[in-house]
Structure formats: structure tokens, C-alpha cells
Amino acid sequence: MEAYTDILAQIFNVIMIALQIIIMFVTFYYFTLSLIGMRRKPEKKDYAPVNRFAVVVAAHNEEKVIAPLVENLKRLDYPPELFDIFVVADNCTDKTALLARKAGATVFQRYNNQKRGKGYALEWLFAKVFALNRPYDAFVIFDADNLVKENFLREMNNKLCEGEKIIQGYIDSKNPYDTWVTNTFSIAFWLMNRLIQLARFNLGISNTLAGTGMCISSDVLKKVGWGAHSLTEDLEFTMKALLYGIKTSWAHDAKVYDEKPLTFIQSCRQRKRWAQGQFDVAGRYLLLLVIKGFRERKWMYFDAALHLFQPYFTMIGTTYLIIQAFSFLQPFYTNLFYYLPWVIWQVISAGVTIFPLIALYLDKIPWKAYWGMILYPVFMYSWIPIIFAGFIHRNRREWSHTRHTRSIRYDEIVEEKVASK
């Protein structure tokens, strides 16, 4: 019996050491990545507008927000003969199609109760646009609730002229001051934009698509095909293209203003869907990316695998903290954290605390947004139960629509930014 107990203790110790190694490695990695995102490397911006764009929007019952977006897109600072606007009114039961046409978009109406969701709608719309036989160089994708900075297509044109094939724009917030939820949600996106996405761009590794503000060259879509139908179709396509060796680039000055959920419950539902989708995509792509990384000896693939691993990391970290709370278990495992200099964890803890403030400052976010830092920890810790719920329901793929109600025009965003300075 004593020998059996010793074996269990040894197994427990090995598991706990493994958990600690994972926690240390991932923490150090993202801490370093965040430091790299604090600078911007120079970029060439003076390419002539030569690329022709198909600007596409997938909309499901978006009558409250579709017209301001189409009107905004028509006023982009890019030669009007070099872009067309297409909207797929997907299983709509309201006036989305009518209002989009009235605003000036070419509208296709789709009805399919079996293949539901944005991924299927986009694939269907891509096929419709390709069938027009027009010489589009790239597709730019927006959500119906978005508004877009006037230089967006010029920035994407610059990136395409540089040879990039897939580009993600900066996800800003359309309504950061509506509620404490929209404020903290916006801070999370601002942090990701500056200290993670920009850091990956600085390193020359692959960024990740974010569902909107995306630019994909036509030749990539023809070669790879869309085929992304998970609850996180953007993440799925990022990883699918990466397995073909096609990385995603970043356009920090191409801003999209996205509507953030107004209530905590709405944000939880949306984030649970994202967690489910990330577990689903990780299950299919994580190991393949690790294998490709070893074969080609490129860190880009390991970084992408680490990105897919993030929800698992949250679960591992939470599990470790729960075990550590039971003091009677501590004598049965080796605590590696005791062997690291105390100052290292002080620096990391301080960095994690102030990184959001640094991101807001570097990207010149209005001071009004800083009040959200008071409840930002509440928002971030709420990810823990959401991720566990996403893991439990990871095999469910029912699409849940997020209702958008903030009918804001682009001029109002500009006026708000001026007033906040």
C-alpha cells in the first residue's frame, strides 16, 4: 500500500511540474511578445491605388445598422471605380436587403436553414461575386454593425502592393462608452491590437484574422477556397491558409469600428461562442501546425499553435491555482516557482497590470476610456468560467446571432474622438 501511495505521489509531482513548466513558458512568451509590440517599425505608405476590391458584408437581420455602414463605405478615400460593395442578406426576415440596396450596395439574398452562419454566407457570396467575372484583386470583409475609417482601402492597397496576401485591420470600438461592458471589451481589443497583433507583425510572423476588417487576395481564395464554417470562421481560415504557407499580415492604421455588446450577458454569450470555436479549431489544426513548425523550422507555426492553445492554458492555470489553494497537497509536489528569483515575478506581475494602460497610451486612446480599467479585471477573470463552458460545449456548432442596435454614423465617431481629446 505504501509503495502504491509513493507511485501516486510521484505521478502527481510529475503532473504538477509539467503544469508549472507550461505556465512559465506561456507567461514568459506573451510577456516578451507584449514588449515587442511597444514599437512600430516604419512602413511604406505611398503606393498608388491600383488594386480593385470587392467589399463584402454578411448581414442577418441588420436593418438597424446596415445603411450607415454602406453609406460610410461609399465615402471611403479610394477611387470609386476600384471598389464595389456587396451585401449578402442571409436568412433575413426584416428590411436588411431593402435598406442595403437603397443605400447603394449590390445585394444578394440567401435562404438556407440547414447551412446557417456567417461562414456559409460568406462562401456563398464569394461564389456569387466570382461568377460576375470582374477583375477583383482582393475581397475586403466587414460585419454589418461596423463603421470604417476612410483610409481603409488605401492601407490594404499598400499591403497588397508589398506582396501580402491576407491582411487584418485594426479592430477599434464603435461604442466604447455605452456601458462598463463595452468599455472593458474595447480595452481588451485595444490591448490585443497593439501588444499582440502589432508584435507579431514586427516579428514577421503570422497575425490572426478577427472576423471583420479582413482583406484576402482573390488568388488565395481561389487556391485555398474558403471552407471555414466553424463558430470562429476567421480563426479557422487563418490556420487553414497558414498550413498552405500563407501568413496573415497586419495593417495598424486600417481601422474598423466594431459594435461591442452592451450587457455582460450578451458579452458572455458571444465569448462562449468564440471559446467553443477556438476549441474546435484547435482540435483540428494545433497538432498539424506543430508538426509543420518542426518540419520547416519556422517559429510562425509554433506561435499560431500557441494562439490556439490559449484556452487550454487558461484551464491549466486555473487548475493549478485551485490545487495550490489546498495547502495539504503542497508537500507532495515540487514548486518550481520557488526556484525563480522573486524579482522576475514582480516584474511580470507589474507588466501584466500596466500593459493595458501602455497600449491605450501608445495608440492615443482618449483618456475617457481609462475609467474602464477599474472593472477590467472583472471582465478578464470572467473569461475563466466562459472558457470552461466553451470546452464542455466545444462540439456544438449552432450559430447564435448577436443583435446589433447602435445605429451610429461615421461622422458621430469622428466628432466623439475630437470631443474626447
The four Cα atoms 172, 174, 178, 184 give a dihedral, to 10 degrees, of -10
Phi/psi of residue 329, nearest 5 degrees: -85, -20
pLDDT in tens, 348-386: 888 888 999 999 999 999 999 999 999 999 999 999 999
Confidence of residue 222 (pLDDT cuts 50, 70, 90): very high
User: Could you tell me whether strands 166-173 and 248-258 are parallel, antiparallel, or unpaired per DSSP bridges?
Assistant: parallel
Mean pLDDT computed over every residue of the chain: 92
Pick the closest to residue 128 from 54, 214, 217, 237 (CA basis): 54
Q: Report how far Cα 341 is from the mean position of its chain's Cα atoms.
A: 34
* pTM for the model: 0.93
Q: Is the pLDDT of residue 420 over 70?
A: no
pLDDT in tens, 160-211: 999 999 999 999 999 999 999 999 999 999 999 999 999 999 999 999 999 9
Confidence of residue 415 (pLDDT cuts 50, 70, 90): low
pLDDT in tens, 311-352: 999 999 999 988 888 766 777 788 887 887 878 878 888 888
The four Cα atoms 158, 161, 163, 167 give a dihedral, to 10 degrees, of 30
Phi/psi of residue 93, nearest 5 degrees: -120, 15
The three cell numbers locating residue 416: 466623439
Confidence of residue 4 (pLDDT cuts 50, 70, 90): low
Q: Which residue has the higher pLDDT, 411 or 392?
A: 392
Q: Which residue has the higher pLDDT, 159 or 394?
A: 159
Looking at residue 410, its pLDDT comes to: 73
For residues 73 and 257, the answer to whether their CB atoms sit within 8 Å is no
- Taking the C-alpha atoms of residue 243 and residue 13, their distance in angstroms, rounded to an integer, is 36
**Amino acid at site 379:** F
Domains of the chain: 17-421 (3.90.550.10)
Strand ranges (DSSP E) for 329-386? none
pLDDT in tens, 27-65: 999 999 999 999 998 888 889 999 999 999 999 999 999
